Amino acid sequence: MKSYPLSIRPYGIRAVLVEWPNEVDEEILEDILQFYQYLKYHCLKKTGWEMIPAYNSLTLVQNNNLVDFKTFSTKLKKWYGEKSGTVPEQRYLWRLPVCYDLDFGIDLEDVSKKLRLSVPEIIEQHTAHVYRVYGIGFLPGFMYLGGLSESLEIPRKATPRLKVAKGAVGLAGKQTGIYPQESPGGWNIIGNCPVSIFNAKEEGPCLVSVGDQIQFYSISRAEYDLHKIEGEVGIYKVEKLEIDA
């Protein structure tokens, strides 16, 4: 794997920001996650560290102590040089059902008009691609997905909605994603996913990790209702496949 020129900068008195070149790129993400892995298991054993990967950056936060930037950034550079050969954590491809019924896809007809694609074409293109999780943030369990087909790029709505339903699947710019909870939002809503991505009551509260992949598949309204009930009683099994590193 190639080595990137890193920018290491202080972020206040208890955090450090490490940045890779300013691009959305799978190889950069892989490099970040490999470094994350190496730091987690070999370097930052002291408690209180948290690491937040997102797109082209890795933020390291020390919750208990202040960070001496000079010493720490020198160490980070050294560790970055040592990380090659680190085996990344097992990643998964999650296959998530989406019901593109017009009851859920409240902007489908509008999106269809603006993109000059029929509703079946939109569904076909949305489900054809495998998306990469570049970050999780904004809301607990909200995934920033990369890899949307250019033909589905549509600006976010001029006026955001005050309420977007939990599970709503949306399009905005180069992004697609799922609202993990009811919230205000400006994305164009094309369907709903009955699977809960985030559940605070679980010890591992979020199904998905940064670096995982997502693929959607279309389900009928009846299947949606069934999965919803299965989810509520805890017998729904999400389909996941191991990805070879």
Partner 1 sequence: MLKLLKSGFYTSVQDRGRFGYRDKGVPVSGAMDNYALETANRLLENDENAAVLEITMTGPTFEFEENTFIVLTGASMSVTLNNQPITNYKVHKIVSGDILSYGRLENGFRSYLAIKDGFKTEKVLGSRSHTKSITDSTYLKDRSEISYEPCDAFVPKISEIKINAYFDETVLEVAKGPEFGMLENRQLEKVFGGDFSVAKENNRMAYQLKETIDGHDKSMLTSATLPGTVQLTPVGKLIILMKDGQTTGGYPRILQLTDDAISILAQKKLGDIVSFKLIAP
Q: Does 226 bind partner 1 (CB under 8 A)?
A: no
Q: Does 10 bind partner 1 (CB under 8 A)?
A: yes
**Residue given tokens 């017998």 in the structure block:** 235
Q: Work out which of 30, 37, 43, 51 binds partner 1, going by CB under 8 A.
A: 51
Contacts of 158 (CB under 8 A, 6+ apart): none
Residue 12's φ and ψ, nearest 5 degrees, are 75, -160
Given the DSSP bridges, would you call strands 168-172 and 188-192 parallel, antiparallel or unpaired? antiparallel
Q: Does 59 bind partner 1 (CB under 8 A)?
A: yes
User: CA nearest 66: which of 19, 25, 14, 111?
Assistant: 14
Instruction: Kindly tell me which of 45 and 201 has the beta carbon lying closer to partner 1.
Output: 201
Instruction: Kindly tell me which of 142 and 216 has the beta carbon lying closer to partner 1.
Output: 142
Q: Work out which of 4, 6, 37, 57 binds partner 1, going by CB under 8 A.
A: 57
Instruction: Kindly tell me which of 120 and 137 has the beta carbon lying closer to partner 1.
Output: 137
- Cα atoms found within 13 Å of the Cα of residue 197, Cβ hemisphere only: 30
Window contacting partner 1 (CB under 8 A); options: 106-114, 133-141, 148-156, 215-223: 133-141
Q: Does 69 bind partner 1 (CB under 8 A)?
A: yes
Q: Does 6 bind partner 1 (CB under 8 A)?
A: no
Instruction: Kindly tell me which of 17 and 238 has the beta carbon lying closer to partner 1.
Output: 17
Q: Taking the complex as a whole, how short is the minimal distance between the CB of residue 9 and partner 1, in angstroms?
A: 5
Window contacting partner 1 (CB under 8 A); options: 58-66, 96-104, 110-118, 148-156: 58-66
Q: Does 56 bind partner 1 (CB under 8 A)?
A: yes
Q: Does 92 bind partner 1 (CB under 8 A)?
A: no
Nearest-angstrom CA–CA distance, 44 and 60: 10
Contacts of 26 (CB under 8 A, 6+ apart): 132
Scanning residues 145 to 204, which ones bind partner 1 (CB under 8 A)?
180-181, 198, 200-201
Q: 84: which 2 tokens?
A: 């090659």
Dihedral, 150, 154, 156, 158 alpha carbons, nearest 10:
160
User: CA nearest 220: which of 96, 101, 124, 95?
Assistant: 101
Q: 26: which 2 tokens?
A: 């799978």
* Chain-centroid distance, C-alpha 202: 19
Q: 214: which 2 tokens?
A: 């997502």
Q: Does 237 bind partner 1 (CB under 8 A)?
A: no
Instruction: Kindly tell me which of 113 and 159 has the beta carbon lying closer to partner 1.
Output: 159
Footprint of partner 1 on this chain (CB under 8 A)? 9-13, 15, 17, 19, 22, 24, 48, 50-57, 59, 61, 63, 69, 134-142, 144, 180-181, 198, 200-201, 205-206, 209-210
